[in-house]
């Protein structure tokens, strides 16, 4: 848990638990997953799971967020240019399609948890804003920036929902590059203020 000093080897144990948790959550879903099952999969004592993460919701959000470590699209990072809306869409979707599991499965698990718990929904919202809009920067968002962040987040979640849950036509079958190119200009408009935010 945050605030507790870490001894040598602690980070390795924490990562081991997160990896095990991600696998169990994807297999069983948020509701059916027990912390004891995660401990067994990670081959650690139950107490260590609670020590590092506190609650099942904290563990779930952290393990899913681990898929979306701050990582810029290769083409953008190579040029040193600021991220574009196309980069943001590409990076957001790419993380849900990495790993051995079915593409988008982690997003489905995240969406199911959020739809079944107001607290989980709030944490997912925090995750989207922190990881995608702010690039992990700690500064709080207020006023117009907060409104635009919410609109960008809703667009990204909507795209992922159409691709992984609804299987909606070309959005589901096109390549990541194609989808990113289609929706990137909309994200740019919302971020830069060239799209209306209402009121």
**pLDDT per residue as tens digits for the range 73-108:** 454 555 566 788 999 899 888 888 876 667 788 788
* pLDDT tens track for 95-144: 888 766 677 887 888 888 888 778 888 877 777 776 666 655 556 677 88
Q: In the CATH scheme, what is the code of domain 69-192? A: 1.10.357
Distance CA 110, CA 120 (A): 9
Task: Delimit the CATH 1.10.10.60 region(s) of the chain.
Answer: 10-65
94-98-103 Cα angle (round to 5): 85
Tokens representing 81?
């240019």
User: Which class in CATH covers the domain with range 10-65?
Assistant: mainly alpha
Place of tokens 């650690």: 44
Where do we find the tokens 């920036």? Answer: 145
pTM score above 0.75: no
The radius of gyration of the chain from alpha carbons, rounded to an integer in Å, stands at 18
Residue 187: predicted pLDDT: 93
Residues of the chain with CATH 1.10.357: 69-192
Q: What is the pLDDT of residue 192?
A: 82
- Residues 6+ away with beta carbon under 8 Å from 128: 153, 156, 157
- Distances from the Cα of 73 to the Cαs of 59, 83, 89, 132, 168, in angstroms? 27, 8, 10, 13, 25
């Amino acid at each position: 848990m945050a605030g507790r000093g870490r001894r040598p080897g602690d980070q390795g144990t924490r990562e081991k638990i997160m990896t095990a948790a991600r696998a169990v959550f994807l297999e069983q879903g948020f509701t059916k997953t027990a912390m004891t099952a995660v401990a067994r999969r990670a081959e650690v004592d139950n107490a260590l799971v609670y020590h590092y993460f506190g609650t099942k919701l904290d563990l779930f959000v952290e393990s899913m967020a681990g898929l979306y470590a701050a990582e810029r699209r290769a083409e953008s990072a190579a040029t040193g240019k600021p991220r574009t809306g196309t980069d943001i869409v590409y990076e957001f979707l790419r993380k849900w399609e990495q790993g051995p599991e079915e593409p988008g499965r982690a997003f489905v698990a995240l969406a199911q948890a959020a739809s079944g718990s107001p607290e989980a929904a709030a944490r997912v919202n925090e995750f989207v804003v922190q990881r995608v809009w702010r690039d992990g920067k700690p500064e709080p968002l207020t006023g117009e920036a907060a409104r635009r962040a919410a609109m960008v987040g809703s667009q990204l979640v909507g795209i992922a929902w159409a691709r992984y849950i609804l299987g909606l036509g070309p959005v589901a079958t096109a390549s990541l590059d194609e989808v990113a190119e289609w929706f990137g200009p909309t994200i740019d408009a919302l971020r830069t203020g060239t799209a209306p935010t209402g009121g």
